[in-house]
Amino acid sequence: MRWLCLFVAGVALAQTSPPVAPTPDKSVPDKPVHAPTAAELMRASIEKQRAAVRKQAESSGATLIPWSPSQPLSAGAAAPVCDPIATDVVTPLIESAAKSNDLQVALVRAVIEQESGYRPCAVSPKGAQGLMQLMPDTAGQLNVKDAFDPKENIAAGSKYLKQLLDKYKGDYKLALAAYNAGPAAVDAANGVPDIAETRDYVDAIQKKIK
C-alpha cells in the first residue's frame, strides 16, 4: 500500500511541477544577425528624406510635381530619387534667402535648377547634398544641421554664394566657377578653370539670369 501512495504522490508532483526549459544545443551556432549594407542604409535614408519632403509640402498645402528628364542636372549628379519640390513651396524659401544675402532671386533659382533640378534629396557622387548641392565641409562651416532640409539648404547655399561674390568682388563668372569647382581651382587658374563641366555650368547659369 505504501508503494501505491508514493506512486500517486509522484504522479501529482510531476503534473504540478513547471516544465524545464531544454538546454540549448551549443553545437549548433546561432543564426548570424544580418548587418545592413551601405546601399541599404542609403536607400533607407533616401526614403526618410523623401517622406520628410512630402510631409513639408502637404503641411504647406502644396503637392510635389513629377520629375521631368528635361530638367537640368549638375554633371555627375545621382539619378533622381525624389520628386522636385513644388514651385509654390520653394519660391518663398528662395526669395527669403536671396533677400537676406542681397542676391538676385533669379541667381539663386538658377543655381538650384542647375545643381539639383529642385530635388531636395539629390546627392552627387562627390557627396554634395540637397537643393544647392552643399559639400559636407561647406555645410559644416555654415553650421548646417540638415543639408536635406530645403529651407536650411537654400539659406546656407545662398550665404555661401554671397561669400564667393564678395571674395571675387562681384564677378559672377568667378563666383559661379568657385561654387562649382571650388575657390582653390579658380585661384590657381586666376580665372574660370579650364574644366568643361565648370565652363558649361557658368555659361548655363549666366544664360538663365540674363
pTM comes to 0.65
As to burial, measured by CB atoms within 10 angstroms (0-12 exposed, 13-18 middle, 19+ buried), residue 6 is exposed
Whether residue 8 has pLDDT greater than 50: no
Q: Is 72 helix (H, G, I), strand (E, B) or coil?
A: coil
- Mean pLDDT check: name the lowest of 33-47, 125-139, 143-157: 33-47
pLDDT of the residue at 77: 46
Task: State pLDDT tens for residues 102-118.
Answer: 999 999 999 999 999 99
pLDDT of the residue at 144: 97
Q: Is 172 helix (H, G, I), strand (E, B) or coil?
A: helix
Residue 197 amino acid letter? E
Give me the residue spans of the domains in the chain: 40-209
Task: State pLDDT tens for residues 139-173.
Answer: 999 999 999 999 999 999 999 999 999 999 999 99
User: Which residues pair with residue 112 across a beta bridge?
Assistant: none
- Averaged pLDDT for residues 191-206: 97
pLDDT of the residue at 82: 84
Of 58 and 191, the structure prediction assigns the larger pLDDT to 191
Instruction: Check: CB of residue 127 under 8 Å from CB of residue 136.
Output: yes
Backbone angles phi, psi at 65, to 5 degrees: -95, 155
Q: Is 115 among the catalytic positions?
A: yes
pLDDT of the residue at 33: 52
Confidence band, pLDDT 50/70/90 cuts, at residue 57: very low
- Highest mean pLDDT among 15-29, 76-90, 182-196 belongs to 182-196
Instruction: Check: CB of residue 72 under 8 Å from CB of residue 113.
Output: yes
As to burial, measured by CB atoms within 10 angstroms (0-12 exposed, 13-18 middle, 19+ buried), residue 126 is exposed
pLDDT of the residue at 177: 98
Q: Which residue in 40, 47, 113, 115 is the catalytic one?
A: 115
Of 38 and 188, the structure prediction assigns the larger pLDDT to 188
Query: Which CATH fold topology does 40-209 show?
Result: Lysozyme (1.10.530)
pLDDT averaged over the chain?
78
Tell me the percentage of the chain whose pLDDT exceeds 90: 59
